[in-house]
């Protein structure tokens, strides 16, 4: 453990994750801005740029662990005829997402579906792109989520994952530790009234596979041309792959 936090056994994991997002749903978007200093917007925009959705024409995207809809809305605004499906395991997050979609006039192009990344409620080969942002580290069995991603993509479809990464650069890693274990739980305590949910998130970042290992896992699920890009000194990572 780091700074005395307990390691959470795998069996408890999904229940714990659900509790976290149920508790933070209403404040999720503001927390994202506060904790990342607005950087999550930059990373999400970089994800959409690399994905490069077509401006016109039919395009079906599944955004898994899509929460309150951030990725889906960005794609919808850029790609005028795209149909988006946000899938998340947490009804509280989806509720906030639906309200946001309505406010942004995107309800007719963005659907919200309750579902687990490890057993997606969609037929084989039904999407042109699969996105997952800050979601895959919450999944209990990552390999299962990856093979589900492969299954629902049509041949020629694109997989794209945005995730935090433990920092291994000297000096930056110390700053990152301090930020993770002192600042983040403190923001959690002040805004949500509880540091626990965010302590959990910090720990889940620690335990996520290394970027090269994760790239291998993506390839193992069947994807081709797997590559990744580091952002902000490696604090966040974008992984890409194709179902060919
Ligand atoms: N993608 C959004 C974003 O970037 O703002 C939300 C990310 S949020 C940090 C993580 C989301 O993953 C939560 O909404 C949570 O409910 C969802 N989640 C956790 N485990 C999941 C699972 N097994 N299947 C689907 N979604 C899951």
Atom of ligand 1 nearest to the CA of 116: 24
Q: Could you tell me the residue range of the domain that residue 71 belongs to?
A: 10-166+208-242
Candidates 45, 68, 92, 138: which one to mutate for ligand 1, based on the most atoms within 8 Å of Cβ? 138
Q: Which two three-digit tokens encode residue 153?
A: 């993509």
Query: Which run of H or E residues covers position 182?
Result: none
- Asked if the structure places residue 1 within a domain, the reply is no
Does 87 have pLDDT greater than 90? yes
- Asked if the structure places residue 51 within a domain, the reply is yes
Which tens digits make up the pLDDT trace of 155-182? 999 999 999 988 878 788 888 888 888 8
Phi-psi region of 242 (alpha: psi -120 to 50; beta: other; left: phi over 0): beta
Q: Which two three-digit tokens encode residue 86?
A: 């946000």
What is the C-alpha separation between 53 and 143, in angstroms, rounded? 26
- Asked if the structure places residue 201 within a domain, the reply is no
Binding residues: 68, 88, 116-117
Buried b (16+ CB within 10 A) or exposed e, 155-164: eebbbbbbbb
pLDDT of residue 243: 98
Query: Which run of H or E residues covers position 19?
Result: helix 10-24
Binding residues for S-adenosyl-L-methionine: 68, 88, 116-117
Report the CATH number that the domain containing residue 98 is assigned in CATH. Answer: 3.40.50.150
pLDDT of residue 4: 46
- Asked if the structure places residue 16 within a domain, the reply is yes
- Asked if the structure places residue 80 within a domain, the reply is yes
Task: Answer yes or no: is the C-beta of 117 below 6 A from any ligand 1 atom.
Answer: yes
Atom of ligand 1 nearest to the CA of 132: 1
Task: Answer yes or no: is the C-beta of 148 below 6 A from any ligand 1 atom.
Answer: no
ipTM over 0.85: yes
- Asked if the structure places residue 83 within a domain, the reply is yes
- Asked if the structure places residue 186 within a domain, the reply is no
Mean pLDDT of 3-24: 72
Task: Answer yes or no: is the C-beta of 62 below 6 A from any ligand 1 atom.
Answer: no
Task: Answer yes or no: is the C-beta of 163 below 6 A from any ligand 1 atom.
Answer: no
CA 70 centroid distance within chain = 10
Confidence of residue 91 (pLDDT cuts 50, 70, 90): very high
pLDDT of residue 16: 81
Which tens digits make up the pLDDT trace of 116-144? 999 999 999 999 999 999 999 999 999 99
pLDDT of residue 6: 52
What separation in Å is there between the alpha carbon of 1 and the centre of ligand 1? 24
Task: Answer yes or no: is the C-beta of 139 below 6 A from any ligand 1 atom.
Answer: yes
What separation in Å is there between the alpha carbon of 170 and the centre of ligand 1? 30
Confidence of residue 3 (pLDDT cuts 50, 70, 90): very low
Provide the number of structural domains found in the chain. Answer: 1
DSSP 170: T
Which tens digits make up the pLDDT trace of 25-72? 988 898 888 888 899 999 999 999 999 999 999 999 999 999 999 999
- Asked if the structure places residue 153 within a domain, the reply is yes
What separation in Å is there between the alpha carbon of 93 and the centre of ligand 1? 8
Confidence of residue 7 (pLDDT cuts 50, 70, 90): low
């Amino acid at each position: 453990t780091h700074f005395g936090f307990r390691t959470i056994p795998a069996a408890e994991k999904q229940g714990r994750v659900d509790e976290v997002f149920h508790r933070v749903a209403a404040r999720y978007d503001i927390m994202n801005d506060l904790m990342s200093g607005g950087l999550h917007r930059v990373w999400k925009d970089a994800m959409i740029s690399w994905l490069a959705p077509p401006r016109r024409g039919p395009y079906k995207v599944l955004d898994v662990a899509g929460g309150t809809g951030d990725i889906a809305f960005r794609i919808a605004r850029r790609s005028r005829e795209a149909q988006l499906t946000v899938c998340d395991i947490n009804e509280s997050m989806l509720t906030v997402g639906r309200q946001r979609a309505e406010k942004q006039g995107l309800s007719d192009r963005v659907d919200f579906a309750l579902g687990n990344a490890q057993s997606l409620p969609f037929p084989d080969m039904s999407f042109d792109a699969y996105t997952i942002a800050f979601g895959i580290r919450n999944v209990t069995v990552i390999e299962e989520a990856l093979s589900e991603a492969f299954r629902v993509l049509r041949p020629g479809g694109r997989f794209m994952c945005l995730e935090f990464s433990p920092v291994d650069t000297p000096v930056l890693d110390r700053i990152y530790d301090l930020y993770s274990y002192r600042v983040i739980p403190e923001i959690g305590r002040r805004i949500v009234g509880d540091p626990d949910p965010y302590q959990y998130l910090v720990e889940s970042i620690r335990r996520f596979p290394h970027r090269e290992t994760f790239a291998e896992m993506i390839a193992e699920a069947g994807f081709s041309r797997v590559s990744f890009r580091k952002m902000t000194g490696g604090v966040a990572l974008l992984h890409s792959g194709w179902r060919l």
